[in-house]
Amino acid sequence: MAKRTAIRSKRGRRSVEPQIEVLSEEAPPRRRTLIAGVAGALLLFIATYLWRLDRVIGMFSDDAWYVLLAKSLATGQGYSLINSPSPGIMPIYPPAFPWLLSLAYRLSPDFPQNVWLLKSVSIAAMLVIGATTYVYFKSERKLSAWFALGIATATAINPAFVFLATSSAMSECVFTLGLLLTMLVVERGARAEKKWGYWLFALGGALASFTFLTRALGVGLIVAVAVYLLKERLIRALAIFVAVVALLAGSWTLYAWKHAPTPAQQDEQNGYIVKSYTSQFANDDPLAAKAPPSIPSELMRRSFNNGARMLEYNIGSLVAYPLFRAAEPLVASGRNLQLALLSFLLSLIVIAGFIAAWIERVTLTEMVALFSTLVVLVWTFASFRFALPLLPFAIFYLILGLRAICRLLQRLFGAPGPRAQRAALLGAIALTIAFNTYNNLAYGLSMRGPEAERPAWLRAFDEGREMIQWVGEHIPEQYALACYNPGLVHLYTGHKTVGTTYPARRWELWKRLGVRYAVLNSLRPLSDPNPAEKRYPIIYMSDRMKLRVLDFGEAATRLQWVDNP
């Protein structure tokens, strides 16, 4: 072992552990004090998630599809869109998260009574994320126990993660857990003895594959690990990692490609759930009026716009979430000069921290942050949820950036000293935790307040669910429905459902499929019915949001849809 360590040192590898001045351990904390801190963080976590847990599910549309696919797996119908009039249509979504949800669905198959159990998957993931974050930053980045615990707590109770875990069934929590576990295992493998290291790299490949099969954005993690192992000259480890990823993620990718929805199936289901990632990435819509731009020009435009969005909104939302509330579609702020300036300032500090870490020593953290950000920049749109898994690293780099500012002040004015710097940086993390806790408390209070003051998310869900329940009670199940949110309508009613895009072009297909009604269930208030809708009886309309149900009539006698609403 000593010989191997010497060789690794000569090649510039990991024989010298990173020591981050000010953030590293001065003296080990007292055992009782640390246990009390961990217990306090755990109690805060439990109280936060119980306080904010609600009955909302399916409002993102994506999470409705996840639950529908979980039901399909749990009931023995395979990985298929059981809502579609034609059987056997396979989604393009990767299967890992629906498979996890299917385990919960098997324990309690009654929807929506099992909503709390479905959400427990993400809540459990967040608990493990907190523990993994603590271990990673303490053991791999050599932070003190208090800094590691602070970053872990700030991550675990971040209101964005809390919202996605308690008010939806989205995959971000499980995806983030897979990313962190992959990093921890690979870093441990790079330090382990040869025999154990190879097993750890194989496990890392399995975890990276699981992460990729949770969300396709995990391709950034796979590339980051491969480049990191190549940089460390761990060629055998790289070969093992790539082989496992090729076996697991690669085999599913080939299977999904072979069984991809046909053009006819895509036309029937009519939504992103059957639109290939290649088509989404290229922004290619065969039914759109205009042809898509060339790939190079589209990537340049997209990267510029997504990069600007990252600086003026997403990074600020990561480290000061209560001011932005970017994960909540009905309250997320638009372009605001004050918030944009704040986000830009915080972005500069985070980038400075990233550069400082890169200069000290490039680790897997920097590789994952870099390549994951690159994937977000070139993706079709810059959703805040794509950046959210990088939250613990954003907090870490924010602290490193603030440390750089403290160092500059020390050089210029002789103060603050190391102890004062340490106290200030710990105070910044404590302030973040307090700010997040206040936001979670305020949100929970509004959930339990007067109807007019309840979160818009809950009120929109209640109004939409009331309409869907009316559909289930008044429309015979023999009729298929065209819906804004097909997955959610099917879960509540059992009706066969399709999407509503380009109705005029799908009119004859809808006749053949038995689509008689349109269920316009949106998470935002709708405008008044347009001329095309007014040609058909509106048999249901909600008061506030104007959600409505249209009756197209029997297929043989119905009027032609003449416009795209």
Domain membership of residue 126 (yes or no) is no
Q: How buried is 76 (Cβ within 10 angstroms: 0-12 exposed, 13-18 middle, 19+ buried)?
A: exposed
pLDDT given at position 196: 80
201-210 confidence digits (pLDDT tens): 999 999 999 9
Is there a single domain that holds both residue 322 and residue 409?
Answer: yes
Q: Which residue has the higher pLDDT, 295 or 310?
A: 310
Is there a single domain that holds both residue 384 and residue 487?
Answer: no
Mean pLDDT of 8-15: 40
Task: Please name the residues in contact with 280: beta carbons below 8 A apart, sequence gap of 6 or more.
Answer: 272, 380
Cis amide prior to 486 (ω within 30 degrees): no
pLDDT given at position 124: 98
Domain membership of residue 264 (yes or no) is no
556 falls in which pLDDT band (50, 70, 90)? confident
Instruction: Name the nearest CA neighbour of 518 among 458, 463, 465, 565.
Output: 565
| Domain end position, chosen among 362, 386, 414 | 414
139-150 confidence digits (pLDDT tens): 999 999 999 999
Instruction: Name the nearest CA neighbour of 349 among 322, 316, 377, 325.
Output: 316
Task: Please name the residues in contact with 229: beta carbons below 8 A apart, sequence gap of 6 or more.
Answer: 186, 190, 201, 235, 237, 238, 241
pLDDT given at position 14: 45
pLDDT given at position 522: 92
Q: How big is the chain by its Cα radius of gyration, in Å?
A: 25
Domain membership of residue 260 (yes or no) is no
pLDDT given at position 9: 36
Is there a single domain that holds both residue 538 and residue 469?
Answer: yes
- Helix or strand run (H / E) with residue 497: strand 497-499
Would you say residue 466 has pLDDT above 90? Answer: yes
pLDDT given at position 202: 96
Distances (CA, A) of 471 to 71, 85, 485: 21, 17, 13
* Residue 518 backbone phi and psi in degrees, to 5: -115, 125
Is there a single domain that holds both residue 461 and residue 394?
Answer: no
Domain membership of residue 441 (yes or no) is no
3-state secondary structure of 373: helix
pLDDT given at position 333: 58
DSSP 446-486: HHTS-GGGS-HHHHHHHHHHHHHHHHHHHS-TTSEEEESSH
Domain membership of residue 354 (yes or no) is yes
Domain membership of residue 178 (yes or no) is no
Structure tokens at 551: 């009756």
Angle between helices 159-166 and 115-135 (to 10 degrees): 150
Is there a single domain that holds both residue 461 and residue 403?
Answer: no
Task: Please name the residues in contact with 427: beta carbons below 8 A apart, sequence gap of 6 or more.
Answer: none
Count how many residues are written for the chain: 565
Is there a single domain that holds both residue 392 and residue 307?
Answer: yes
Mean pLDDT of 368-383: 88
15-30 confidence digits (pLDDT tens): 434 445 667 766 677 8
- What is the residue range of 325's domain? 302-414
Mean pLDDT of 163-173: 97
66-88 confidence digits (pLDDT tens): 999 999 999 999 999 999 999 99
pLDDT given at position 290: 55
Decide: 524 and 531 in contact? Cβ < 8 Å: no
Residue identified by tokens 């060339």 is 294
Decide: 377 and 307 in contact? Cβ < 8 Å: yes
- Rounded mean pLDDT of the chain? 90
Mean pLDDT of 520-542: 93
Domain membership of residue 214 (yes or no) is no
Is there a single domain that holds both residue 319 and residue 389?
Answer: yes
- How many domains, in total, are found in the chain? 2
Q: How many CB atoms lie within 10 A of CB 30?
A: 9
297 falls in which pLDDT band (50, 70, 90)? confident
List beta partners, residue 550. Answer: 518, 538
pLDDT given at position 335: 66
Domain membership of residue 363 (yes or no) is yes
5 falls in which pLDDT band (50, 70, 90)? very low
pLDDT given at position 414: 81
| Domain end position, chosen among 414, 447, 482 | 414
Mean pLDDT of 338-352: 95
Structure tokens at 527: 């405008």
Mean pLDDT of 494-498: 96
List beta partners, residue 481. Answer: 497, 517
Would you say residue 286 has pLDDT above 50? Answer: yes
* pLDDT cut 70: percent of the chain above it: 91
Instruction: Name the nearest CA neighbour of 143 among 450, 500, 399.
Output: 399
Would you say residue 275 has pLDDT above 90? Answer: no
Distances (CA, A) of 328 to 12, 48, 60, 325, 455: 45, 17, 10, 6, 10
pLDDT given at position 293: 60
| Domain end position, chosen among 345, 380, 414 | 414
Cis amide prior to 293 (ω within 30 degrees): no
* Residue 538 backbone phi and psi in degrees, to 5: -95, 105
pLDDT given at position 15: 41
